């Protein structure tokens, strides 16, 4: 495969799938990673001009590195890695759940860092390589909900900024911090419609905006180590709880 290529982890559904369509529309060969969403991944790939599916459990570091070595060996121009896959399980600031924490730290932080290291060491590209680590606006707008998830995204953010300090001149490592985009956890569509407008612009940020930001980072001139927020200004607020719960608390009885 000589076409410029991107690996999108968690690319079968939600924001990952929107990003896959955007990259494909811009002429990229898209490698859609999935674990259990194989049917969704195959259906998505069938809709794209240049795409393929890779299956890997990101809870298994050895399997993750095997995936990187395989892709690096057969993609002649692997320019971009998008670490989008994540788990978002609830636990409390007053009661960390060890199993939830271990899973979040591995899948959301440790293995993405390992993927980035392998990509930067092994991938071939004459145009430079780009790592895009998806984090979360809540790192700048902290609240105590989803304790282990937030810890893991903070670790992913720091890891990405450290990786940006060490690399070839043509390599770039970025963080992309979305706000509330799609219904998550146990939200209904109606709850998401209200809660996702809790930002400075009082508007819903679309998954297409996040995908466009990913493509900009993959192709644009931004200096390494930067964080790009796509959240309609949510990170500039001081929200005492996650918007899932703020909306429920502030909803008229």
Write down the pTM of the prediction.
Answer: 0.96
- Measure the CA–CA gap between 219 and 217, rounded to whole angstroms: 6
Of 168, 159, 160, 163, the residue nearest 128 (C-alpha): 168
Cα of first residue to Cα of last residue in the chain, in angstroms, is 58
* pLDDT digits 0-9 by tens, 81-102: 999 999 999 999 999 999 999 9
Looking at residue 236, what is its pLDDT? 98
* pLDDT digits 0-9 by tens, 215-248: 999 999 999 999 999 999 999 999 999 999 999 9
- Measure the CA–CA gap between 84 and 80, rounded to whole angstroms: 12
Name residue, tokens 């959301």. Answer: 108
Strand, helix or coil at 176? strand
Looking at residue 253, what is its pLDDT? 63
Q: Which residues, given as ranges, of the chain have pLDDT below 50?
A: none
User: Do 146 and 88 meet the contact criterion of CB atoms below 8 Å apart?
Assistant: yes
Domains and CATH numbers, the chain: 5-250 (3.40.50.720)
- Measure the CA–CA gap between 171 and 68, rounded to whole angstroms: 17
């Amino acid at each position: 495969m000589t076409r410029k290529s991107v690996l999108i982890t968690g690319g079968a559904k939600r924001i990952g799938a929107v990003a896959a369509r955007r990259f494909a529309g811009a002429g990229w060969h898209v490698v859609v990673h999935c674990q259990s969403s194989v049917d969704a991944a195959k259906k998505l790939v069938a809709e794209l001009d240049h795409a393929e599916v890779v299956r890997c459990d990101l809870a298994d570091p050895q399997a993750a590195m095997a995936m990187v070595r395989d892709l690096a060996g057969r993609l002649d121009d692997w320019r971009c890695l998008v670490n989008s896959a994540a788990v978002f399980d609830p636990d409390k600031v007053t009661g960390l759940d060890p199993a939830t924490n271990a899973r979040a730290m591995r899948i959301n932080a440790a293995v993405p860092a390992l993927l980035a290291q392998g990509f930067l060491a092994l991938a071939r590209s004459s145009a430079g390589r780009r790592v895009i680590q998806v984090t979360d606006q809540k790192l700048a707008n902290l609240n105590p909900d989803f304790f282990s998830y937030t810890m893991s995204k903070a670790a992913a953010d720091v890891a990405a900024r450290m990786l940006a300090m060490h690399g070839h001149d043509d390599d770039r490592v970025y963080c992309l911090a979305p706000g509330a985009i799609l219904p998550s956890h146990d939200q209904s569509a109606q709850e998401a419609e209200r809660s996702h407008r809790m930002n400075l612009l009082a508007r819903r940020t679309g998954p297409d905006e996040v995908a466009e930001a990913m493509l900009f980072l993959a192709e644009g001139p931004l200096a390494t180590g930067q964080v790009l927020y796509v959240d309609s200004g949510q990170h500039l607020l001081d929200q005492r709880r996650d918007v899932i719960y703020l909306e429920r608390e502030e909803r008229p009885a």
